[in-house]
Amino acid sequence: MRYTRILCSIFLFSALISVLLPEMLHAQNDTFDAQFYAQKSQDLQKKGMIFLGSWATLNILSGSAGYILSENDTKYFYQMNAGWNLVNLGIAGFALYGISQIDASALSYSESLGELQNLDKVLLFNAGLDVGYMAAGAWLWERGIRKESQRLEGYGKSLILQGGFLFVFDLVLYMIHSPLTNDLIQLSDRLELTASGFKVHF
């Protein structure tokens, strides 16, 4: 069972990279078009939230079945997986709705830059929270062993897994998204204000 979980995690993380990496490889733009970067950011967020929603759905289904079919601490491991990912599924759905309400083509340069920088900050903040989730899981696991509580042990193991997934998810998303922000900032440095308007230097 342990090796199956590890293999599944490796597969899912590989899938995350394969889904999101093309956004980074095709993010170059040779014109001063802030909306290009805002749209790329939105596309990346949509793919990320769809991936998160898929992970959540998988955990809800497998967690519900595992809770019914398993015993001891494994039963509670699956129970926490299912419960935790009900929240993840809600977050993914809410985020997708929020993204759909923003028209990237209508954003100014400052608004586009603000959106990108805010997402970078949120992703790093979330990564810090993810470390806290893993630490809380380790504490519950250790406390469960001391108290001989299968419930605490199972919950602790689940928090470590879920926190670890979210940590990798947020960091990968940040590493792919932050170059978009940097490119947009650097693009503004190549502007020259002339009598007829802005000119871009390459």
Residue 5's pLDDT is 53
Determine the average pLDDT of the residues in 26-36.
61
* Total domains, the chain: 1
Flag whether 166 is in a domain.
yes
- Residue 201 scores a pLDDT above 80: no
Q: Residue 39: inside a domain, yes or no?
A: yes
pLDDT at 16 over 70: no
Tell me what pLDDT residue 55 has.
95
What is the span of the domain harbouring residue 96?
Answer: 33-200
Of the pLDDT bands very low, low, confident and very high (cuts 50, 70, 90), residue 1 is very low
**Residues 6 or more apart whose Cβ sits within 8 Å of residue 154:** 72, 73, 74, 75, 76, 77, 78, 79, 80, 144
Q: Is the pLDDT of residue 200 over 90?
A: no
What confidence score (pLDDT) does residue 109 get?
87
For residue 33, the model assigns a pLDDT of 74
- Residue 1 inside a domain? The answer is no
Residue 45 domain flag: yes
| pLDDT per residue as tens digits for the range 108-145 | 888 999 999 999 999 999 999 999 999 999 999 999 99
Q: What is the pLDDT of residues 139-197, one digit of tens each?
A: 999 999 999 999 999 999 999 999 999 999 999 999 999 999 998 888 776 654 443 44
Three-state helix/strand/coil letters over 116-174: HHHHHHHHHHHHHHHHHHHHHHHHHHHHHHHHCCHHHHHHHHHHHHHHHHHHHHHHHHH
The model's pLDDT over 51-102, given as tens digits with 9 standing for 90+, comes to 999 999 999 999 999 999 999 999 999 999 999 999 999 999 999 999 999 9
Within-domain flag for 18: no
In a domain, residue 38? The reply is: yes
φ, ψ of residue 31 to 5 degrees: the values are -125, 160
Which residue in this structure is represented by tokens 């062993």?
Answer: 145
The answer as to whether 169 is a domain residue is yes
Predicted pLDDT of residue 35: 85
Residue 148 is predicted with a pLDDT of 93
pTM score of the predicted model: 0.82
Query: Would you say residue 135 lies in a domain?
Result: yes
